[in-house]
Each structure stands twice: as C-alpha cells, then as structure tokens.
Amino acid sequence: MKIVSIVGARPEFIQAAPVSRALRNQHQEILVHTGQHYDYLMSQAFFDELDIPVPDYNLGVGSGSHARQTAQILASLEEVLLKERPDLVIVRGDTNSTLAGALAASKLHIPSAHIEAGERSYDRRMPEEINRLVADCLADVHFCASRQALERLACEGIGDCVHWVGDVMLDALLYNRPIARRKSDALARLGLEPGAYVLLTVHRAANTDDSRRLQQIVDALNRTT
C-alpha cells in the first residue's frame, strides 16, 4: 500500500516516529512535511533526535494566519497527492496541517486516517478544536488513544472504522526514554537536581493572552511550590 503521511508541527513529528517505523515494514510511506513549524528547534531537531525519515516533500509554508497557512498547505498538498496517487492519507492531531490534509484527501476522494481521533476540548474558540472536528468528520479510519475518544466519536455518530490503538506519543516516549537517559545532558547543562525542579508548559493562547488567567496560573504555582 502507498501511504502519504502528513506532518507539520512538533507533536506530529513525535507521532510520526513510531508510526513510520511500523509502516515501512510492509508499506511504502511518502512523508510530507508542510513546513508549518520550520526552525531547527521546532522541526529538524526532532528528525535528528528521533531518527525520523527525511521527508520526501517539504512544502515550506512557514508562518501566517490560520486561513492563509491552511490555504497554502491545501494547494500544495493537492499537487503532491495528484502526483503520488496514494491509497491512503494519514493525518494526525489537530494542527492546520491536519485540517488541510483531511480536506485535500477528501476533495480528491482519497481515503484518510486520523491518528489521535476523538480528542475534544469542547471549546470551539480553539482553532485546534475545529481542526479535530473536521478531520474526524472526513476521516475514513479513526485511530483513538483512549476508550473515552471512542465514546466521544460515538456520541457524534461516528462508529464505523473506529479503533482504540493506544497513544503513539507514549510509544515514542517508551522507545526514546532509554536513549534520552544515555545521551541527555539537560540537567547538568541547566544546573538542575533530579526532583528539585518543575517543568511547565503554558502555551495555549487562552492562558497566555489573558493576563488575569496567566496571573491565576502563576499564583497557583506559587502556592504549590
């Protein structure tokens, strides 16, 4: 089977690593990097560290508004899909690359599979939520990380070709954890002691763009550390 596998952002690179290893044992995978994330630390570092195959295509879309970025990916992906004529398109997660990939495949009548299907925040102000909803609506096959995801899809009337396969992010973690333990020098480089630090990501716009909410997060951290 010939499969076009679409990635564009950090979570998708991590997900692609274990999936590509499994796919390439029996199938032909064409890896397409949309270029949604593009600087070294946001993109190439993951390919280098996680031993992800070199993309067959890099669309190089770069930054832009949601509409402009999605439109550029959609137009470029259409050309790739018309040229490659795959049997299946794989999209993953909830990025603009996910949305564009699902749309491009659907309009060309190519079956698509959505990895990490059925995830929901129930907040349609989040662009990621719209991307998930559209990808799940268009997908022919849904791969879910949890039983709860299956239940969410069932509530939306999606019950065919839905599979609970587990979390490929966990697969990536388990595969790379022993490698990280051998190679990583992050604690020494940053002067940190095991168990004596907290790593926190607060990257959602709903948290960082609202000064009151961000202050509440900081206050809560100060109370617990």
pLDDT category at 58 given cuts 50, 70, 90 is very high
203 given a catalytic annotation:
yes
Summarised one tens digit per residue, pLDDT across range 93-129 is 999 999 999 999 999 999 999 999 999 999 998 899 9
Superfamily grouping for domain 2-171: Glycogen Phosphorylase B; (3.40.50.2000)
Inter-residue contact 170 to 15 (CB < 8 Å): no
Q: How many other CB atoms are there within 10 angstroms of residue 149's CB atom? A: 21
Helices 168-183 and 10-23 cross at an angle (nearest 10°) of 100
Q: Give the per-residue pLDDT at 41.
A: 60
Lowest-confidence region among 30-39, 113-122, 159-168: 30-39
Rounded to a whole number of angstroms, the CA Rg of the chain reads: 19
- Which residues pair with residue 134 across a beta bridge? none
pLDDT (average), residues 7-34: 92
- Using the structure block, give the residue that is written with the tokens 């470029």: 76
Marked catalytic residue, from 27, 33, 37, 203 = 203
Average pLDDT over residues 172-196: 89
Q: How confident is the model at residue 225 (pLDDT cuts 50, 70, 90)?
A: low
Average pLDDT of the residues in 51-61 = 88
Confidence at 39, pLDDT banded by 50, 70, 90: low
Q: How far apart are CA 97 and CA 109, in angstroms?
A: 18
Query: For residue 182, how many other CB atoms are within 10 A of its CB?
Result: 7
What angle do the packed helices 96-107 and 66-84 form, to 10 degrees? Answer: 40
pLDDT of residue 40: 57
Domain ranges of the chain: 2-171, 187-224
Q: In Å, how far from its chain's centre is CA 78?
A: 20
Whether residue 13 is predicted with pLDDT greater than 70 in this model: the reply is yes
**Alpha-carbon distance 12 to 200, whole Å?**
20
